[in-house]
Each structure stands twice: as C-alpha cells, then as structure tokens.
Amino acid sequence: MFRIRDPLHGTIALTGTEERLLDCCQMQRLRGIRQLATGYLVYPGANHTRFEHSIGTLFLADRMCREMGMTEERISKVRAAALLHDIGHVAFSHESEAVLKARLGTHEEVGKRLALHGEVADALSSEFSPREIADVCDTTIGSVITSDIGADRMDYLLRDSHYTGVAYGVIDTQRICTSVSLGRKGLLIRERGLEAAESLLVARITMFSTVYLHKTVRIASRMLQQAIMLALEDGTLCEEDFLSFGDSQALDALGASPRAHEYAARIKKRHLFKKAYSVPMSKMRMPARKAEEELTDACGCPVLVDIPNLSAKAHILLEKKDGKILPLARESELVSALVSMQSRRLEALVMCDERHVKKVARAAKRLFG
C-alpha cells in the first residue's frame, strides 16, 4: 500500500495498481499542468496541478462509493477511473482545449485513447480490462466522478479555493458523501443533504465570478489562445505537440513562433492586454472572431474579444423523502436566484494593448451600439 499526504484530504492510500498508474509518464506529465492555467497570473498561489487534483478526486470518489455500500470490485474500478479522469488534458487545460479540440477531441476523448493503449493500458491490465476503466465515466456509476455534485467538482472547488486564498469554496464534503445515492440517471442527493448541495453550488457560482471568470484571467487566457492559433497557422507547432507539453514547455514553444512570440512574451512578463470595453451577452450580436476582425481593422492594432464559455449552471437531482426525484434548482430558490444572477452578469470582453484602450473603446461602442 502506497501513501500520499494531501494538503486537503490528509493521508491517501493507493493500491499497487494505482501506484503504477501514477508512475506512467502520462500521469507524471500532469505535474506540469496547472489546474487553473493562467490563474497564477492573478492568484500567485494557484500553482496546484492536475496531478494532485486527480489523487484528490480518487479519494472523494472512494468515500462516496463506500458510503453507498458498493462492492470492493466496483470501488476499485471507480478509483482507477477517477485517478485517470484528467489524463487527456493538454497543456493549459481548457484554455488550450478550446482551440485544439477540433483536431484532437476533448480531454475525455484523448483520455480514453491513452487508457486503451501504451503504458497506461499496461498498468491497468494487471488488474482490469482497460476498456472497462476507459468507459466508466460514461456509465451511471461514473457519475460519482462526473456529476455536478461528484468527486471531480468537489475536489477542484476545494483545491482552487485553498490555493487561490479565496474563501468561497467551502463545501461540506462529509455531508454530501453521506447523503448521495445512485439512481437510474446517475448520482442523486437525498433531501437531508439539501443544504450541503446548496452550499456547493453557492461555492461554485462565487468561484466562477471571483476566480474562473476574473477579468485578468480571461484576458491572459484569450491571449494564450491567440498565441496557439498563430503558432499552428505558421507551422511552428502542431496540435499533437500539446499532448506531450506541460504548461512551461508550451509557453517556451510558443515563444519560438514568428507570429506567436509576442503574445508568449507578454504572458511570461505579465504584460497583458487591458480591458477596453465589455458587452452584456444579451447584446452580443456577432461572433467574437468577426468582432475582432472589424475592431482590428478599424483601430489599426490587435484587438481580441473573449466570450465566456463557462457556466455555473448545474444539473443536480434531489431525491425527496417520498421518493420523488426533482431538479435541485426547482426545489431551491437560493440556487435558482444565484444561477439567474450569474447569467445576467456574463459579458464579452474587448481587450487590447494599454496604449490603444481609448480608441478601441470608442470603436467597440460604435460596433456594439
């Protein structure tokens, strides 16, 4: 039995198979991929990685499975799937995935391929069928990991809150783990866990507005995406390169691109674009790329537009005492009000170099009316 000391969950014990999975190069690569991508540019402590998040997800998934009385065989399969659930992430995670998934697929699809072939498949084969583990997250039992009240969500909210120093990600994991059950549609929260589920969603919504959709984080992320697109266009990099890179390697490689090097240098030095204008999503009438082209032509300088592609909406099912199963948002006025509020606050951001903010703001105001 192999033991790891985690700052959130304490000592976590791993089996021999799980230790071999951790030692696979695809898992070790996750040590170089920050959980919050460019978030460290705003929150200096946000250097935690998808490696430790994967171990924390295993711990919480195990806890829920045991509370639900699953057999050791099923628990071991869920643990393996939880440990591997982020193995398909490219460097800079979701920010890069937005650009690369058309060619590579989503991180879930990449993760499945990695689990079925090579070193990971060999490590799994000592105890499991690799196909069975690769498919766990597509099954009802996999909702222990993937549900909006599952192990993945709980761990990343707790971990992101801890390392950013933002105090909104407080979740009663013990109450949630002891209040869940598995239904035909996946993970359910029993009525006795209603308040704990509400606290999770409150934490998620406030973390979105404070951390994940922070203005400067969004600006850095959009500049990174632009750098990746330019490096792919000039042939310096190909999409598959990001499957072997960590964040630092990716940024160095982008710095070697004739077209992307300026954006990479700006990110390294934290010499970021500034917000010039914001547009409520209800008034965003054109695709972001078209708006960028029109504003760049009108202003004679590079202009980028970011559309928020993250949502705090969550699909959580509540199991009532009488056996009825209802959406939590329908039973909780608090959750419904918070989700509605966040939707109204979503804005597209127009950004440019600090020297051009005023003229870009005027052009954006004309364009968006």
**Integer angstrom CA distances of residue 8 from 90, 129, 178, 211:** 25, 31, 18, 19
Instruction: Give per-residue pLDDT as tens, 308-325.
Output: 876 656 788 888 888 888
**Integer angstrom CA distances of residue 298 from 291, 352, 366:** 10, 13, 11
Neighbouring-strand partners of residue 305: 350
Annotate 195-218 with b (16+ C-beta within 10 A) or e (fewer): ebbbbbbbbbbbbbbbbbbbebbb
Can you tell me which residue has the tokens 């699953």? 70
Dig out the tokens for 317 from the structure.
């099912």
Give me the phi and psi of 186, to 5 degrees please: 120, -155
**Cα(89)–Cα(246) distance, integer angstroms:** 10
Q: Is the pLDDT of residue 34 over 80?
A: yes
- The fraction of the chain above a pLDDT of 90, given in percent, is 81
SS3 content of the chain, % helix, strand, coil (to 5): 60, 10, 25
Q: Is the pLDDT of residue 202 over 90?
A: no
Q: Is the pLDDT of residue 10 over 80?
A: yes
**Cα(187)–Cα(7) distance, integer angstroms:** 27
Instruction: Give per-residue pLDDT as tens, 65-103.
Output: 999 999 999 999 999 999 999 999 999 999 999 999 999
Instruction: Give per-residue pLDDT as tens, 252-267.
Output: 999 999 999 999 999 9
Q: Is the pLDDT of residue 338 over 80?
A: no
Q: Quick one: pLDDT at residue 310? A: 66
**Integer angstrom CA distances of residue 236 from 38, 68, 250, 252, 255:** 22, 51, 12, 12, 10
Q: pTM (2 decimals)? A: 0.94
Dig out the tokens for 207 from the structure.
């973390």
**Cα(316)–Cα(314) distance, integer angstroms:** 6
User: Cβ(104)–Cβ(90) under 8 Å?
Assistant: yes
Instruction: Give per-residue pLDDT as tens, 99-129.
Output: 999 999 999 999 999 999 999 999 999 999 9
Give me the phi and psi of 18, to 5 degrees please: -65, -35
Instruction: Give per-residue pLDDT as tens, 284-307.
Output: 889 999 999 999 999 999 999 999
**Cα(345)–Cα(208) distance, integer angstroms:** 11
User: Cβ(105)–Cβ(260) under 8 Å?
Assistant: no
pLDDT averaged over every residue in the chain = 94
Q: Quick one: pLDDT at residue 167? A: 82
Q: Quick one: pLDDT at residue 39? A: 97
Q: Quick one: pLDDT at residue 52? A: 98
The region of weakest confidence among 23-32, 143-152, 166-175, 194-203 is 166-175
Residue type, 277: Y
